[in-house]
Each structure stands twice: as structure tokens, then as C-alpha cells.
Structure 1
Amino acid sequence: MPFVHSRRILWGETDAARIAYTARFLDFAMEALERWFQERLGCGWYEMNVDLGIGTPFVHASMDFRSPVTPRDVLDSEVRLVNRGRSSLRFAVTGRIGERLVYEAVLACVFVEAAAMKPVPAPERFAAALAAEDALGACQTQAGPGGA
């Protein structure tokens, strides 16, 4: 199953127009990605940095805004691994309120040795989980937009 992170939009995330402040959308996508790391790889960013000495700085982010959200909404952000390199991961993150498309984002990060900020191969301990995500992505691509 695709990974989906659900969260309610909070009042403090809105602006004078009473909709979520534009800059928060990247936060929504990044929050979903961190949950993906925790759930799918079994290790959050803090643990990776502190316990493993590995960072995952983001080197690319692009986002299209499709529809506003308010504190009445529960945002579902679907995270898909769309490309895995030796050291890099590229994700598609899609936000929806029900069937309504809210945002589409592409984000890429690189595994690095945290102290030196030098790229390193994806840790072997994540190999099986990343292979499973590759297989899931291939299934979703064959099924067309929205997966199976």
C-alpha cells in the first residue's frame, strides 16, 4: 500500500486569508516524508543523525499548489519513492483533501556522513525496505495515476 500521512490543518497554520499559509505546504510535505522514513525505514531523521551519524539533506524541492486548505480540513499526503540512486532518493508527495488535489511536490535527498556532509551509499540496513518501495513504485507506475 502507498504510504499516506494524515493530519488536520491547524488554525495557527493559516494566514490573513484564513487558509493555510503558502510556506506551510513544504512543511506538510516534509512532515509526511519524515513519517515515511520512520514507518518504512524504521528510523527517523533525528535517530539517523544522532545514532547512525547519517544525514539526509534535501537537495531539490519543487511544488505546485492546486487548492487551498483550512482548519476544517484533514490533509492526506501520499509519499512515493520514484527514483533511488546510489546515495539519493527522489520522492513524489501528493496532498489531497478527500479526492480534491491540494498540492504536488517532488523532493530529493542524499544520504551523507553527517559530520563531513559527504555523500555515502544508502545504508545497507535500509536495502530491503528501499527495494520494497521500488517494487511498490513500479506497481503504481504500471497501474497508472493513483496506483492500482
Structure 2
Amino acid sequence: MTRPTPLTASALPAQAFRSEQRVRFGDCDPAGIVFFATWFAKANAAVEDWFEGALGIDFHALHAERRIGTGFAHAEADFFAPGLMGDRVALTPLVTRIGGASYGLTLHVHRGEAELLRMHLVTATTNLDARRAVPVPADLRAALAAYQERCA
């Protein structure tokens, strides 16, 4: 397996959405380094921000009112450098694939220009009541495609 090369923040598309977050005391282990599982919680928070800020879709209404879930069906990460307590980081999602009932994202996490980690996420769309996969809703599909095009 070939290890990916970190990208600078400025190498990402200028039109891409960035979720700014702070690393807090509770995000870290006793050494002050971000606990790896915390990055997945921060990724989900970034996705919630991205829905509203870049896709124009109310994430909470999608789940609570429309009963469409968007859970990670697959998640992996390549870590390049540790995140530290007090860091201000930018999480930048890029759409890699839009499928029938799922979509893929690469989420870049930067502290300044330095990429700390890169996550590869597959999100499945599900009917929350039936707990079964459903096609990506038309409005979400259109928003994902438009964002992907803006960032190409």
C-alpha cells in the first residue's frame, strides 16, 4: 500500500467549503493529542455544517422531518501529523462519488497549511423508520453534483 502524500490547504479548490473547528481539552488524550476517534466526531460535525453552508440543505430537517439518515457506511483515515489541544483546524469535504443510495467524500483536515489527516467516507442514505437504504434524494443528489462541479 502506498502512503498518500499530504496536501497543503492552498492545494484544495478555493470554492470548497471549510468547517473551522477548535481542538478542545476533551478531544485529547492525556498527552494533549487528539484521540483518533474524536476526528470521526469532528468529521460528522463538519458534514452537518457543510449541508447548510454549501449544499443548502437543512441536515436536521432531513433527519428529523424527512426521516432520511446519512450515516457513515465506511470510514478510513490516513494520519500525517498529530492534532493538538488548542489547534484551530479546517475540515474540507470534497465529493468523490455519487451513487444510487450512497455518496463518497474525502475530508481533508488542516492546521494552517499542514494536512493533519485525510478521511475517506462513504455515506449511505437510509429511511430511518424502515432502517433500509433508499436512493439519494433528488435535492441532495443535485446539491452534491453542483458542489462537486464547483470544486472540480
Q: TM-score, normalised by structure 1?
A: 0.85
Which residue matches 1:142? Answer: none
Q: Which amino acid is 1:26 matched to?
A: F
Q: TM-score, normalised by structure 2?
A: 0.83
Which residue matches 1:86? Answer: 100
SS of alignment partner, residue 24 of structure 1: helix
Alignment of 1:1-148 (within 5 A): 1-137=15-151, 139=152
Q: Which amino acid is 2:57 matched to?
A: C
* Greater relative contact order (CA < 8 Å, ≥ 6 in sequence): 2
Q: Which amino acid is 2:28 matched to?
A: T
In structure 2, the gaps of 5 or more residues are 1-14
CA contact (8 A) 1:66 1:101 kept: yes
Cα deviation digits, residues 49-94 of structure 1 (max 9, x gap): 2111211121100011111122231011110111001211100001
Q: Which amino acid is 2:96 matched to?
A: V
CA contact (8 A) 2:101 2:133 kept: yes
Share of identical aligned residues, percent?
28
SS of alignment partner, residue 17 of structure 1: coil
Shift of residue 44, structure 1, vs aligned partner: 4.1
Which residue matches 2:9? Answer: none
Aligned residues: 138
More displaced, 127-136 or 37-46? Answer: 37-46
